[in-house]
Amino acid sequence: MPLTQYEDYADILLDKKESALPAPCAIWIETTWVGGKAPIKLAPYSEAMIRNYRDSALACIILASSHGKGKFDLKPGMNFLNGMAPLPYLTGLLPDVIQDEFTVNYFPPIKEGLKMSFSQRNKEGFKMGTQQGLDLFYGLSSVIVRMSEQFIEGSSSKTSLLQFKVSMLTKFIHAKIITKLQKRPIYPKDVFDLKGFVCIGTDTLHFKKKIEQYWGIKPLEVFGGTEPTCIGIESWEKDGLILLPHICFYEFIPMHEFYLNLEDPSYQPKTYLMDELKEDESYELVITTYKGGAFARYRVGDVFKCEVLERTKDGIQLPHFRYVDRIDPVIDLAGFTRITEATLTEVIRMSHLPISNWFARKTYDAQTRPYISLNIELNHPQDDPGWDRIDLIQAQLELYFSYIDQDFKNLKKMLGIDPLSITLLPFGTIEHVQKTLNHRISKVNPHHFDVVEILNQAFGRDRQ
């Protein structure tokens, strides 16, 4: 059968036509489709899929606390900060599926947390953990880093001592003495003794080192999504994602095939199976869900790099992957929102700014926080007064971004990220580059040309 995308299922799934499903639906899981523009996506979960998800969730907790093959540090009644979204999002299933298997104290308690916003729930959970101690932490990587930074920034502020358990108060006093001697702020690792740390979300690769630096424990990276469920977990070595073989059937589109398809939508890209992969190659993931799942040969929209085909020292004869990012041309910012060309076009249209041409890419600041680098040309002479103020242009575009996509607004509010950076290009720049590219490509193999050299020719070697 052909490769599929969500558009192929939308008329059935968005209307919840259960008669068309391969198995009875126990619960519908929801996520955003395209930030601010498209309706939500829905995916049906059968009872068997939920049982698989339970097994994956327990595996995450066990492996997060492991410090060697077969060695892990878990006991009933641990304090668990679950910093993930509640139902109808996939992560909201976690408390329900593990409650009969492993008893933990959720911070904040589940019923209380459901009455709070995502931001409030994370703040309250972290506050309770500060007062009573934390053993397990499961959260969005970008949120974890922001909470850690806020803890460090506020570590010297006054706090009511009556709210702390004696054991935590002792740890704070000890940490205060040590860090004062070392002339540095208090880090979470100076106070907390985590047994396990699970992190998830786009851009996790860029946040993991900071998490380990702040907390003194190497986090376990997990990959999951609404359509495939939780399908990727690192081993006890925490050195690469391993795709769980009983959740989905996996196929892989090499990036050269992906770009041929992107250029010509009628072209059907070739897929490879697990035993045909090559090390250091990147692939778009394709899944077929088991246990009554609705998706067949489904393009998830995520790119993975096959780092190694096996790790013999661990006895694991399965490929290890690194999550790269969403496929072009989708910009995913910290797991909060997905920006597409259509979103950007609509924002520019609504702003009524005299923008004639533009291009955008995802990049990272000095703190490895992601943002959109938007490069624009104005359709008037550059000496036209009033329209060369980048700050005014940025303020106008951010206003309409926030109007179209609430999650874009939350990036700055919750994570301290400035999600948009504007660069004003001289009039005609983009057209000049396109002509140079087209001229060069017409003379060489289109898949083997040096873009840097082309840009050097277009602008001169003194222009960056």
- Looking at every residue in the chain, the average pLDDT score rounds to 86
Same domain, 229 and 337: no
Any domain includes 439: no
Residue 267 reports pLDDT greater than 70:
yes
pLDDT tens sequence across 85-100 = 888 989 889 998 998 8
- Global pTM value: 0.79
Any domain includes 206: yes
pLDDT tens sequence across 408-440 = 777 776 667 788 889 988 888 888 888 887 776
The number of angstroms, rounded, from the C-alpha of 452 to the middle of its chain's C-alpha atoms is 29
Same domain, 221 and 350: no
Same domain, 337 and 236: no
Domain count, the chain: 2
User: Distance between CA atoms of 265 and 124, rounded to whole angstroms?
Assistant: 47
Paired strand residues for 323: 304
Same domain, 240 and 335: no
Q: How far apart are the first and last CA of the chain?
A: 47
Any domain includes 86: yes
pLDDT tens sequence across 32-76 = 776 555 578 999 999 999 999 999 999 999 999 998 999 998 999
Q: How confident is the model at residue 384 (pLDDT cuts 50, 70, 90)?
A: low
Same domain, 234 and 347: no
Domain-ending residue, one of 224, 244, 264: 244
Domain-ending residue, one of 192, 219, 244: 244
Same domain, 122 and 10: yes
CB 223 within 8 A of CB 241: yes
Q: Which CATH number fits the domain that encloses residue 92?
A: 3.40.50.980
Any domain includes 436: no
- CA-based nearest residue to 356, from 382, 334, 386: 382
Same domain, 99 and 202: yes
CB 44 within 8 A of CB 13: yes
Q: Which CATH number fits the domain that encloses residue 371?
A: 3.30.300.30
Same domain, 234 and 340: no
Domain ranges, residue 410: 331-427
Any domain includes 403: yes
Domain-ending residue, one of 244, 279, 305: 244
